Amino acid sequence: MKLTAQIFLTLDGVMQGPGAAAEDPSDGFDRGGWLVPRRDPDMDRIVAQWYSRAEAILLGRNTFTAMRGYWPHVTDPGNAIATALNGLPKYVVSHTIDTPGWDHTAVLADDPLAQITALEQRPGGELQVHGSCRLVQALHSAGLIDEYRLVTFPVCVGTGKRLFTPDAPATGFRLVDSATTSAGAVYTALTPEPFTTADVAVTGGRELR
């Protein structure tokens, strides 16, 4: 399966607590819900397209817990996100969850990166990670993510958990899709490539690269 990461970001790179003030108040974060005023039909269409490609969902503990408290209550068959989240196989990475309490969920507790690698090797569509900051950071460091789908919103929060940490490996990316929303968010889909550098020089009065 293709492992994809679907992430909402602020302009200054924070992915913590996009959906609600109390979604993730860890480390004193009090600026949650920054996405909600900037949600629009364009964003909803982008997200619905993501879920239409999913064959299984992979989540970290905190994101799983937040989603479990909300999405099982959305029973509208016309809601593509609820249909996917409630009906597809789900995997949660956790050492503390014993009973998931959400249908079709398996817990990955022992050596989760090895288990995720094994899932990737299965035939099929997409294994999608949504949110799940620490999990995505670990998958990025391990080089396991095949495609990054980022929606960057025109807002800065100044503090909070970031997708790419200072100790993350240097990585290049190739743009494979992009769009903008009426609210000013920018969607980019990126596949990782080797990190490269180059120099510029001036020869005969002309800049050469």
State the angle between helix axes of 41-52 and 80-87 in degrees (0 to 180), rounded to the nearest 10.
30
Work out the percent of the chain whose per-residue pLDDT is above 90.
89
Q: Given pLDDT bands bounded at 50, 70 and 90, which one contains residue 25?
A: very high
Q: 113: closest CA among 86, 88, 138, 150?
A: 138
Domain boundaries, the chain: 2-208
What does the buried/exposed string (b/e) look like for 15-48 if buried means 16 or more CB atoms within 10 Å of the residue's CB? Answer: bbbbbeeebbeeeebebbebbeebbeebbeebbe
pLDDT of 102 > 80? The answer is: yes
- Residue 22 in contact with residue 166, Cβ under 8 Å? no
Q: Given pLDDT bands bounded at 50, 70 and 90, which one contains residue 117?
A: very high
pLDDT for the residue 204: 83
Q: What is the pLDDT of residues 54-94, one digit of tens each?
A: 999 999 999 999 999 999 999 999 999 999 999 999 999 99
Mean pLDDT of 180-190: 98
Q: Given pLDDT bands bounded at 50, 70 and 90, which one contains residue 184?
A: very high
Mean pLDDT of 156-164: 96
Query: How many Å apart are CA 87 and CA 106, to the nearest integer?
Result: 13
Mean pLDDT of 24-51: 95
Which residues are paired to 50 by β-bridges? none
CATH number of this structure's domain 2-208:
3.40.430.10
Work out the percent of the chain whose per-residue pLDDT is above 70.
100
**Taking all residues of the chain, what is their mean pLDDT, rounded to a whole number?**
95
Mean pLDDT of 161-176: 96
This prediction has a pTM of 0.92
pLDDT for the residue 205: 83
Q: 9: closest CA among 43, 35, 37?
A: 35
pLDDT of 209 > 80? The answer is: no
